[in-house]
Amino acid sequence: MAKRKYYILTIVMLTLLTTFLHFAVKQRISPYVVFEELYYLPLLIGVLRFSLRGAFITWLFVSAAYLPFFFAPWTTSFTGYVDRTLHLALSAAVAIVVSLLVERERRNRLQVEREQYLAGIGRIATVIVHDLKNPLICILGFARRICEGKGDCSQAAQTITESAQTMQRIVNDVLDFAKPMQLDLKDCSLGETIHRVVEICRTKAIERDVTLIVNAPAEPITNTIDCFHVERALVNLIDNSIDASPQGEQVNISAAMIKNELLITILDRGSGMSRETLMHLFEPFYTTKSGGTGLGMPIAKKIFEEHGGSLVITSKQGEGTQAIVRLPKQKLKSPFT
């Protein structure tokens, strides 16, 4: 609404200024066609900003401001009347043609957006169905074996539980990405947060023979964050670094407070990512992993941005990947202040 008022005010001011210039110069400057062309400025603004109806109203206003020149005493020749009549007719034609073109462009853009939206829904549905299909097959297969009394029931129950947990993770990822994020902000210790994240990832690192090196400040640093969501995002980043690291390598996790900004860096020396992978890294459902949903990185980016921070990934093939997390230093406001 504020922008609409700004455009209307601009149209009015340009029209009045052009009219003032016409009257100010009178017979001292010729030809007057220079100032006639200035009327196209407010007209084009009205055409491009508003609908066909708004463009017509703009043309009426501009034409009303121009009408006094039909009766100006210094331009009473027949040629002058023809010139001004053609100007009004041409400005009307321009307004109509440009309005129709703009309206057609808007319809085409809406159609493209609608098609992209439907294509996105189809892509999401395809990925979700594909990811849910395998654990669902396991659940049905082992449940049937239990009913038939075949095999080890405890092993079957464990497989069913793991498959159900996989399905739950997929559903939770989709819901977390789709719905608005509700942050539960609390004062959390940076050191303790990183320690918990590293401990969560340590088992996987040991299995892959990857060493986790932590470099955190010795002094305690407290920041107001949603600990659960931030830890979840960091776990995802470190897991990715572990997956990308060859055996015997290490992943470096460092944290520092620089001015009023918390900086967390995760560096691996894996194979790195191609330019194409980097370009699509934060696109939903884009993944190069066989068992991934492609939502881990978009969700992590969303979590940090909801905190007013950012996530930047840099990578070079053959050299490794670096994830840089920036979070603003915040303090939980007291309800009594």
% pLDDT > 90, the chain: 11
The pLDDT score that the predictor gives to residue 32 is 46
pTM score, two decimals?
Answer: 0.56
The pLDDT score that the predictor gives to residue 34 is 56
The pLDDT score that the predictor gives to residue 238 is 92
Long-range contacts of 4-11 (CB under 8 A, 24+ apart): 4/49, 7/45, 7/46, 7/49, 7/50, 10/42, 10/45, 11/42, 11/45, 11/46, 11/58, 11/61
Q: When comparing pLDDT for 284 and 268, which is higher?
A: 268
Torsion (CA) 122, 125, 126, 127 in degrees, nearest 10:
120
pLDDT tens digits, residue range 277-319? 888 888 777 777 665 667 788 888 988 998 899 999 999 888 8
> Within a 10 A sphere around the Cβ of 6, how many other Cβ atoms?
11
For the segment 175-196, the average pLDDT, to the nearest whole number, is 81
Q: When comparing pLDDT for 259 and 238, which is higher?
A: 238
Whether pLDDT at 186 is above 50: yes
Whether pLDDT at 33 is above 60: no
Whether pLDDT at 26 is above 60: no
- Between 4-8, 17-21, 23-27, 143-147, the lowest mean confidence (pLDDT) is in 23-27
- Between 75-79, 271-275, 327-331, the lowest mean confidence (pLDDT) is in 75-79
For the segment 186-206, the average pLDDT, to the nearest whole number, is 87
The pLDDT score that the predictor gives to residue 132 is 74
pLDDT band for position 226 (cuts 50, 70, 90): confident
Query: What average pLDDT is seen over the chain?
Result: 78
Determine contact, residues 98/48, Cβ cutoff 8 Å: yes
Domains of the chain: 2-109 (no CATH), 186-328 (3.30.565.10)
The pLDDT score that the predictor gives to residue 30 is 47
For the segment 235-252, the average pLDDT, to the nearest whole number, is 91
3-state secondary structure of 272: coil
Q: How far apart are CA 255 and CA 215, in angstroms?
A: 6
For the segment 253-272, the average pLDDT, to the nearest whole number, is 88
